[in-house]
Copies of this chain bind each other. A is one copy, B any other.
Amino acid sequence: MTPELILNTMMNKDYFSQWMGIEVDEIREGFCRLHFTVKEEMLNGFGIVHGGIVFAAADSAFAFACNSHGKISVALDVSISFLKPAAINEVITAEANEIHTGNKTSFYDVTVYNRQDAIIAVFKGTAYRTVDHVVETHAKAD
């Protein structure tokens, strides 16, 4: 399976990324860049984007990138630092870059930034690589 097919297989079932309106701009082995637009339902009690939404965008980029090699990989540990808030209607991009892939784990840096290239958050994640492979069930079904 190619990274594109793996992505489509995952995206077909990823209802939360769909709800967020996530669009993938680029996918290849060990890399993913995606974007979405902040809508009103994504705001927190201070009128800025909820931390969970910023995390989710980075987490989806991480998931699409670390599964691109074909082995099912799941997030173990993540740290995220919030550097700047984001407001309604802003277009937010998350870019995941592979730093290391071993036999059992892989490690990614994800940067979340706005249209002015200001960094909103920095996300660092370790995934556990299972022995199973992403299977093309849902992509086939559609």
Main SS at interface, chain A: mixed
Task: Decide if A59 touches B63 in the complex (CB within 8 Å).
Answer: no
Contact of A46 among B13, B77, B78 (CB under 8 A): B13
Task: Decide if A124 touches B16 in the complex (CB within 8 Å).
Answer: no
Could you say how many copies of this chain the assembly holds? 4
Which parts of A60-106 form the interface with B (CB within 8 Å)?
Answer: 60, 63, 67, 72, 74-85, 99-100, 102, 104-105
Contact of A107 among B12, B14, B83, B105 (CB under 8 A): B83
Most buried by B among A11, A42, A51, A53: A51
- Asked whether A51 and B77 contact (CB < 8 A) given A15-B43, A42-B15, the answer is no
Task: Decide if A46 touches B72 in the complex (CB within 8 Å).
Answer: yes
Does A5 make an interface contact (CB < 8 A)?
A: no
Indicate the size class of the contact surface on chain A.
35 or more
- How distant is A10 from chain B, measured CB to nearest CB, in Å? 3
Which of chain B's residues have a CB closer than 8 A to the CB of A109?
A: 122
Residue of B nearest to A82 (CB): B75
Encoded as 1 (CB less than 8 Å from any B CB) or 0, chain A from 16 to 56 comes to 11110000000000000000000011111111001111011
